[in-house]
Amino acid sequence: MKFLLFFIFSLSIIEASSQCVGPRYQTEIFDEVSVTNDIIYGSNTNIYNLNEDLKLDVYEPAGDTVTGRALIIFAHGGSFVFGDKADPEMVLIGSDFAKMGYVTASINYRLGLTQNLLFDLPDSIDAFAAIIRGVHDMKAAIRWFKKDAIEGDNQFNIDPNQIFLAGFSAGGFIVLHQAYLDEESEWPEFDSTVLGVSGGVDGESGNPGYDTDFIGGLSVAGAIGDTSLIQPGDEPMMLTHGTDDNVVPYGSEVLSFTLGALTINIALVHGSSSVHARLDHVSVPNCFTSYEGEGHVPESDLGAYYDTTYVKSRNFFYSLLCTSDINCEYEDLVTGIADLTIENDLLVYPNPFQDEIQIRGIENIEYSSIELFNLSGQKLKEWRNTTSSKIDLSELNKGMYLLRINQRDQGNITLKLTKQ
C-alpha cells in the first residue's frame, strides 16, 4: 500500500492520539531501558545454503505502562559482510529513543556477498542480492511485530500502524530499498544459483500474511540502486550523509569494494544527495542533512554528529506521528512548542528539588493552568489562576515528574523535574 493514502486516512487518528499530548516522543522522559535480547523473528537461506535464524533485540522504556506505542526498527551497517544488532551505535540510538517512550528494535539480517571473498570477487549481482536479502529480512521483522500485535499477546505494546525504519550504511540501503523497491514489477529475476533471494516483494524470511507498511524512515549514509523507483506518494525519508564519504557515494557514483590492496568496482548507486533530489522532484516529504567535509557515517563517533542526527530524526519522526508539517530542524521540541524567545525561556530550579520549585520566566507568559504528571501520564495536581512562581511539591515521592504549563493560544511547555 502506498504511503499517501494511508497517511491521508489515518492522520486524524494519529493527531488525536493521547501520546501526542505532553512530552512523549519529544524528550527523554524515562531514565532506564529494559532490553530483551535474541528474539527469533524469522529464518531463511544464507549464502552458504544453510538455514539461518534471524534475531532481534528490543529496547523499551522501563516501567512504562502505556499501550499502543510507536516502534522503530533499526538495521546496522557493515558493508553487508560484518556488523551486528548490538553494535555501539545501535545500542545507543535504540536506548535513546526508548527513553522517549518508543519501543525500538535492532535486527540482525543475513550477511555475505560471496561464499569466499578471497577467491570469488563480488560483482553487481552479488551486491544487489545482499540488499535483497536484507530487505526480505527487514520485511519479516515488520511482519513479526504486526503478527504479535494483531494475533499474539502484543508483548511489547506497540501500535502496528505506527512503525518507523532506520538504518546506518548498509542498513540505510535496506531502508531505502524497503521503502521504494515496493512493486512486484520492479523486482529483479535471479537465477537459481543466487541463494536466499526468492519470494519476490514479500520474500521468504517469515511471518507471511501481514503487510510491511511503515510511516517513514531514516537512512544514514545509505544509497539506492535506481532513483526512478521513488514515486509520488512513497514514504517520507530523513537522510544524512558526509560529503567526503569514500565508502558509500554522497551523490551518484560507482560503488567500490576494497579487498586489501585491490579495489573492485561494483555498480552505480545513488547516495543521499541524489535520493534527496529525487524525493523533492516527485514531492515526497523528506529531510536531508549534509555533513560538510566528513567521511562515512560521522555519527559513529557517538559525539556531536550523532547528537545532530538523533535530535533531527526525533523531530522528523514526531512530526510524522503527531503533526501535519514535516520538521527537519535541530531544535528542542519540548521548549520549542510555543516558539519561545530567549527572553521568555523558562527555567525550573532547583532541579533536582526536595520540597519546592521556582519557575523563572513564568511572569513573561500568559498561561491558563499548570499541571503535574507522573511518567505514566497520570495527572497528579493542577494549579489555576496562580500568580506565584513558587510551587510546593513536598508531598511527592522521590522520582521523576513532568510539569506542563498550558499557554493561552500558544500550545504548552513541558518541563522535566526530579525529586530527590
What would the pLDDT profile of 234-256 be if each residue is shown by its tens digit? 999 999 999 999 999 999 999 98
DSSP assigned state of 353? B
149 residue type, one letter:
A
Gap between the Cα atoms of 270 and 203, Å rounded? 24
pLDDT at 122: 84
Domain boundaries, the chain: 3-331, 336-419
Question: Under a CB-based contact definition with an 8 Å cutoff, are residues 274 and 282 in contact?
Answer: no
CATH T-level topology, domain 336-419: Immunoglobulin-like (2.60.40)
- Using one digit for the tens of pLDDT, what is the confidence trace for 53-90? 999 999 999 999 999 999 999 999 999 999 999 999 99
In a 3-state reduction of DSSP, which class is residue 272? helix
State the pLDDT confidence band at 10, using cuts at 50, 70 and 90: very low
Residue 42 in contact with residue 75, Cβ under 8 Å?
Answer: no
Does residue 12 carry a pLDDT above 70? no
Q: In the predicted model, what is the mean pLDDT of residues 371-387?
A: 78
Q: Compute the distance between CA of residue 310 and CA of residue 96 in angstroms, rounded to an integer.
A: 8
Q: How far, in Å, are 8, 40, 50, 109 from residue 55 at the CA level?
A: 34, 4, 16, 8
pLDDT digits over 136-157, tens only? Answer: 999 999 999 999 999 999 999 9
- Residues 94 and 69: their CA atoms lie apart, in Å, by 15
Average pLDDT of span 410-415? 72
Q: pLDDT grade, residue 170 (50/70/90)?
A: very high
Least confident of 88-97, 108-117, 275-284: 108-117
pLDDT at 9: 35
| Percent of the chain at pLDDT exceeding 70 | 89
344 pLDDT more than 50: no
What's the Cα-to-Cα distance from 263 to each of 223, 224, 254, 257, rounded to whole Å?
Answer: 19, 21, 12, 6
For position 336, what pLDDT does the model report?
33
**Distance (Å, whole) CA 298 – CA 305:** 6
**What CATH number matches the domain at 3-331, 3.90.120.10, 3.40.50.1820, 3.40.30.10, 2.140.10.10?**
3.40.50.1820
pLDDT digit string, tens, across residues 191-203: 888 999 999 999 9
Look at residues 178, 197, 175 and name the one whose alpha carbon lies nearest to residue 188: 197
pLDDT at 342: 28
Residue carrying C-alpha cell 529480512:
137
C-alpha–C-alpha distance, residues 286 and 279, integer Å: 7
Q: What is the mean pLDDT of the chain?
A: 87
Short-list 278, 187, 173, CA closest to 217: 173
pLDDT for res 409: 66
Helix axes of 304-322 and 88-99: crossing angle, nearest 10 degrees? 40
Residue 376 reports pLDDT greater than 50? yes
Q: Are 414 and 23 in contact (CB under 8 A)?
A: yes
Q: What is the mean pLDDT of residues 10-31?
A: 68
Contact call for residues 275 and 227 (beta carbons, < 8 A):
yes
pTM listed for this prediction: 0.78
